Amino acid sequence: MNIAIFASGNGTNAINIIDYFKSSVKLLLCNKADAPVLNKTDIDKIIVTRENFYQNDEILDILLEKEIDFIILAGFLWLFPINILKKYQNRVINIHPSLLPKYGGKGMYGMNVHNAVKKAQETETGITIHIIDEEYDKGEILFQTKCQIVENDTPQDIANKVHDLEMKHFPSIIEEYINNVTLQEIPRIKIRPHR
């Protein structure tokens, strides 16, 4: 199976996945030209813009030409366009730094989530690995796991605990999901003929 990763920032999750899957990761796509993740790997890279992501099929065409089977989001915050979701139904996997449906939705990412968890005086939080659909953080949940929060934990302490869960579980859950999807259930996408 060929994998593409969409990332935005430092890329710790992205690099963790690349290291885990080795040569199966064929493409890194990023919506920030100065993102540190771009300097951390030698795999092919594409810069995602509002135009080539939302206004035309350029990104979709690249995914098809690379024969990408699964897309992994590792800190990529843009809502996915319907043209890609239709081609990659049930094959776009995301990780969210809370126990969805709590602390999900637009604007709920990174420290925004951890600050909200702390403010609400939660005693636990965690990660959710899920399939992407047309709405933020609403797709089918594949996996959740928890960590405890103690009273004196800061939002950064919470972030560190959640990050440890991400690094431990994300690659193996991706692998389990891919291995459970047979080629009969999800046939390899055919490359679109050039117009």
Residues with catalytic annotation?
96
Please tell me the chain's helix, strand, coil percentages from 3-state DSSP, rounded to the nearest 5.
35, 20, 40
d(CA 76, CA 61): 19
State the Rg of the chain over Cα: 17
d(CA 77, CA 31): 9
Would you call the peptide bond into 101 cis, given omega within 30 degrees of 0 as the criterion?
yes
Residue pair 73/93 in contact (Cβ under 8 Å)? The answer is yes
Residue pair 78/53 in contact (Cβ under 8 Å)? The answer is yes
The contacts of residue 81 (CB under 8 Å, 6+ apart) are 53, 54
Smallest Cα–Cα separation from 79: which of 92, 97, 66?
92
Across the beta sheet with 141-148, the strand order is: 44-47, 25-30, 3-7, 70-74, 92-96, 124-131, 141-148
